[in-house]
């Protein structure tokens, strides 16, 4: 069974990094999740764009019970429901879909709703989203944009995603981000294709260190 909602929420904030796993095969996705977990980030957001993503989610839940597994790029409530049945502990959407937020509330699971504008952030928060995934963030000003949003929305848990780099990770945290969604800068395609777990483990440690350093 998925972890308690509050436990999941606390774990995401405490870890500070949500690895966004996009891969060309189920095996590649599982490999990535295992590697970053060994590097100290025991969270994996498996995007629905991964072939057989639902099976990857259920497999990771079975084989790595310590791993917090979520479903990303969830586009509608039906897709969300299938992911929850597979054991996903949290849901992430790239844009604001209120039906997904409602489903998550009904099922008592954490949802990270995609939003970009202040209106979308407010709408998602009022609907009950636990986190707001600000996407794509780097293209709209990066840490400065998060800082600007935190002005009118100090109580909203913002998770910048899209273009978050190792060099900017600390800046995002200092600007008020609750956690960071990190894709290609952590789940490096070449390392995936070459099955270089050492590269992914090292990057996971460095991202975790950047977050910890910024919080200190």
Tell me which residues are annotated as active site.
Answer: 45, 133
Backbone φ, ψ for residue 89 (5° rounding): -95, -15
Cα–Cα distance for residue pair 99/157, rounded to 1 Å: 20
Q: Give the model confidence (pLDDT) of 91-141 as tens digits.
A: 999 999 999 999 999 999 999 999 999 999 999 999 999 999 999 999 999
pLDDT for residue 109: 98
CATH value at residue 16? 3.20.20.70
Three-state secondary structure call for residue 98: helix
- Tell me which residues of the chain have a pLDDT lower than 70: 1-3
Range of the domain at 68: 5-215
Report how far apart, in Å, the C-alpha atoms of 3 and of each of 48, 111, 133, 209 are.
21, 13, 21, 26
pLDDT for residue 174: 98
Report how far apart, in Å, the C-alpha atoms of 164 and of each of 59, 99, 125, 167, 194 are.
28, 28, 22, 8, 23
What total number of domains does the chain contain? Answer: 1
Three-state secondary structure call for residue 60: helix
Unique residue bearing structure tokens 């202040």? 118
pLDDT for residue 1: 42
pLDDT for residue 2: 52
Q: Report residue 179 as tokens.
A: 């956690």
Three-state secondary structure call for residue 190: helix
Cα–Cα distance for residue pair 39/97, rounded to 1 Å: 33
Report how far apart, in Å, the C-alpha atoms of 151 and of each of 42, 106, 148, 194 are.
31, 30, 6, 44
């Amino acid at each position: 069974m998925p972890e308690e909602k509050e436990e999941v929420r606390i774990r995401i904030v405490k870890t500070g990094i949500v690895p966004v796993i996009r891969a060309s095969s189920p095996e590649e996705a599982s490999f990535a999740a295992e590697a970053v977990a060994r590097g100290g980030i025991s969270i994996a957001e498996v995007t629905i764009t991964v072939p057989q993503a639902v099976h990857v989610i259920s497999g990771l839940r079975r084989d790595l019970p310590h791993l917090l597994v979520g479903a990303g790029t969830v586009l509608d409530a039906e897709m969300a429901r299938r992911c929850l049945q597979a054991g996903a502990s949290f849901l992430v959407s790239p844009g604001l879909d209120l039906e997904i937020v409602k489903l998550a509330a009904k099922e008592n699971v954490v949802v990270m709703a995609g939003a970009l504008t202040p209106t979308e952030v407010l709408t998602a928060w009022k609907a009950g989203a636990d986190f707001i995934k600000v996407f794509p963030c780097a293209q709209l000003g990066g840490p400065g944009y998060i800082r600007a949003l935190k002005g009118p929305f100090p109580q909203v848990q913002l998770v910048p995603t899209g273009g978050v780099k190792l060099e900017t990770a600390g800046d995002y945290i200092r600007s008020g981000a609750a956690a960071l969604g990190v894709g290609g800068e952590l789940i490096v395609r070449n390392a995936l294709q070459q099955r270089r777990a050492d590269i992914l483990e090292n990057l996971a440690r460095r991202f975790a260190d950047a977050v910890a350093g910024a919080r200190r």
